[in-house]
Chain A
Amino acid sequence: MALSGLDIYKLLPKTNCKKCGFATCLAFAMQLAKKASSVENCPFISQEAKDKIISASLAPIKSISLESRCGELILGGEKVLFRHEEKFFNPCAIGIIFEDSLSEAKLIEKISDVKRLSFERVGEILTVDVVALKYSGIDAGKYIDSFKAIINNCDFVVALICDDTDVIKKVVEIANGRDLIIYCFGKEFDIEKFSHFASNKNLSFVLVAEDLDSLNILTLKCEQLKFKNLLIDTGEKNLSDKLWDLTQIRRLSLKKHIRSLGYPVSCIIEQTSPEAIINKASCYILKYASMILVKSDAPEVIFPLLTLRQNIYSDPQKPLQVEPKSYAVGQVDKDSPVLVTTNFSLSYFTVLSEVEASRVPSYIVSVDTEGMSVLTAWAAEKLTPESITKALEKDNIKDKVDHKKLVIPGYVSVMSGDLQEKSGWQVTVGPKEASGIPSFLKKYK
């Protein structure tokens, strides 16, 4: 948790000697709180105070950045327990696990299936981010060949799930600078064997231990060995225990500042049934995972999960918006009704789905309310007779229909007289809730 200027001041020598370049210790403290200066500038501060200030200014959950030709993938760096407190920052990576038992041809086919897992929703392209290769422990040569096939055929970040450190070393040698995530699985896994790779920016390591205490010991050891890019995982458990672990890790790092648990969390879902994947992955996406690896590439399984991730990682302060303009729904003609709503995507999509359900072809005019919903926009004076009139003019809706009749949301009925005057359109008050639209449209005209 960040310290305030006053908190920092209490830790300074309070002699106002000006060596730091500021007139007083307090002035210097204020700059430190803003991160506009560095503790090093005060030669007299105690080591203990210095450590306190530095550790308080560090992010409670570290982030790692992985490069692939698909772009940068940042994991971790989260700051809150609930998205309404600010937002969830770095969308959890979703990855598909391949077995090394696949023939090369089959593997290449699978890779192209995974590349096709790309879905456009509200102007964003949703894709998976990682492919993982699992070692069956039988044929090291086959594993290495499969790895080559992966890096030659796709740009995803690659994760290695392999408990044989010698095999991993061989893979790293031929990785050609590609960013890799290495799962340190199995009791025998000796991370010290990799300490000479510790500062290699291309390699991230996932530390696995069943309980938080053991995990804590592992991360502390890796920090001493100067490992930079770490993730943590508490292994395969039943859903309720996993939810507990994920919640505890997030709480302990944010609220108790346990820095040794402040790492992005990864989860592997071992089951292959779509049902198990749906249940576990939706829980992990909502509750704090930064990477989820699954054993299914079925689009009907992956699409809803990627959509959930998009929803949960959207910024609650910046509501999703649709382009403010008029939308034709169905086979519109010159007599079609014209309905007004806001450009808050939720308002628009609810109105849209009800108009579709009514089967009455209509125009929906989404007014630019900066993404506010009907009532909020009205209260904030973004949905006003003026803004509606402007939207009607901008879009030349009058050329698209032969009438000048407008339907406004029931919640803003008070503006109908004023709007009629300003816009010159005849105003009808529609239902308050979008669910009333089908029956309204049936009777309308």
Chain B
Amino acid sequence: MELEYIEKSSNSITSVILGTGSTSLKVGGEDALPFLYREGKNVSLPIIAHEVFDSAPSDWAKSLKDEFKSVINKPIEWALYCKNELNAKLICLRLSSAHPDFGNNSADKLAKLCRDIYAKVNLPMVIIGCGDDKKDNQVLPECSKALKGKNCYFGNTTIDNYKTIAASCIADGNGVIAHSPIDINIAKQLNILINEVGLPLDKVIINPTVGALGYGLEYAYSIMERARLAALMGDKMLALPFICFIAQESWRAKESKASEKDNPDWGKELERGIYWEAVTANSFLHAGADILVMRHPKAVEIVSKAIKELTNKGIK
């Protein structure tokens, strides 16, 4: 009896290239569910993006701040630290200081920052605005211009706010992060809309919104599984790589931050936060994540090991 059940996919995930030249990266391209390399020609090789903030984050857990103490106020050094010390291949720059209430930094200033980081670090970048639509529409096009031809990815674009950002990415040879609120239909619709204004699908990465372990992880997990299954069965408008903002969610959970003193039965505080991030990341790997945006170097190390083991073809 042949004890094997092979699923054949009729479609594969669109391959998306980030960056240019020798440091460029390919994500997507899978033609099977995550890590089932025996039934797909293309192994999924997820990539971890290291998160760098343009200004010192005020709400981070102490264990996280401590890791970046010397660079937390210096985004360029921070990005260099990620590259040189943490072996980063991809930088996710968060332009939080653009927000009218949290710094209100100007488009010019932030565009210069993008240019400087890229010049020093020379790695592919994902650049995320502050979340204020109006401000993002001023800032992100300037940043895109500053990184013209560098094939960087800008977001978040949403169903209510994609035209300005998509247009500047088309003009500058960059791509977008398409953000939907844990909803497969909105995700698909947004991809269609972005595609309609003229950005090719291989310049779009889906941010499906994820929840932290214990805080809605399973909803996002199932939405991603459903989207990926539909994509592999032929739905081209969903057949795009996923980017998952892991650390942003996991470090908000009280289980990541609560002190050992207040919760003596929850175990070591530092490790707990790291494992919370790692388990959240691992879960989305199995749901099809192509890019994981992470923070704690130790969590990155753990999840890198998981990726290495999961993509190890072994001997059959």
Q: Which residues of A contact B (CB under 8 A)?
A: 82-84, 116-119, 121, 212-213, 216, 237-241, 243-244, 247-248, 251-252, 255-256, 258, 261, 274-276, 278-279, 282-283, 286-287, 298-305, 307-308, 310-312, 314, 316, 319, 345-346, 349-350, 353, 357, 432-433, 435-436, 438-439, 442-443
Contact = CB atoms under 8 A, between A and B. Distances in A.
Contacts of B314: 237-238, 240-241
A433 B182 CA distance: 12
A84 B182 CA distance: 14
B131 A433 contact: yes
B222 interface: yes
Given A307-B213, A357-B252, A433-B181, 12 more contacts: A84-B226, A252-B5, A283-B286, A283-B310, A299-B265, A300-B271, A302-B267, A303-B267, A303-B272, A307-B214, A436-B132, A439-B102
B5 A240 contact: no
Interface of B: 1, 3-5, 7, 35-38, 59, 99-102, 131-132, 160, 181, 211, 213-219, 221-222, 225-226, 229, 252, 255, 265-268, 271-272, 275-276, 278-279, 282-283, 286, 301-303, 305-306, 309-314
Closest 5 CB pairs of A and B: A300-B267, A299-B267, A346-B216, A239-B309, A279-B306
A378 to B, nearest CB: 13
A349 B131 contact: no
A213 B216 contact: no
14 contacts: A239-B306, A239-B312, A240-B35, A258-B3, A274-B271, A279-B309, A283-B310, A298-B267, A303-B255, A303-B272, A308-B213, A314-B218, A346-B211, A346-B219
Contacts of B301: 275
A433 B132 CA distance: 11
Interface centre among A247, A275, A319 (most CB of B within 10 A): A275
Contact of A278 (B255, B275, B312): B275
Contacts of A261: 3
Nearest to A438: B101
B266 A83 contact: no
Contacts of A312: 218, 221
Contacts of B267: 298-303
B36 A274 contact: no
A308 B36 contact: no
A346 B286 contact: no
B281 to A, nearest CB: 9
A240 B311 contact: yes
Contacts of B7: 251
Given A241-B314, A275-B302, A299-B266, A311 B217 contact: yes
Given A238-B309, A275-B302, A282-B279, A443 B101 contact: yes
Contacts of A432: 160
Contact of A439 (B1, B59, B132): B132
Nearest to A300: B267
Contacts of A241: 314
Contacts of A252: 3-5
Contacts of B283: 282, 286, 308
A279 B305 contact: yes
A361 B230 CA distance: 43
A256 B312 CA distance: 28
Given A83-B218, A300-B271, A316-B218, A278 B282 contact: yes
Interface centre among B101, B218, B222, B271 (most CB of A within 10 A): B218
A376 to B, nearest CB: 9
A300 B216 contact: no
A314 B99 CA distance: 37
A316 B275 CA distance: 25
A403 B306 CA distance: 53
B312 A238 contact: yes
Interface centre among A121, A307, A435 (most CB of B within 10 A): A307
A235 B18 CA distance: 39
Contacts of B219: 316, 319, 346
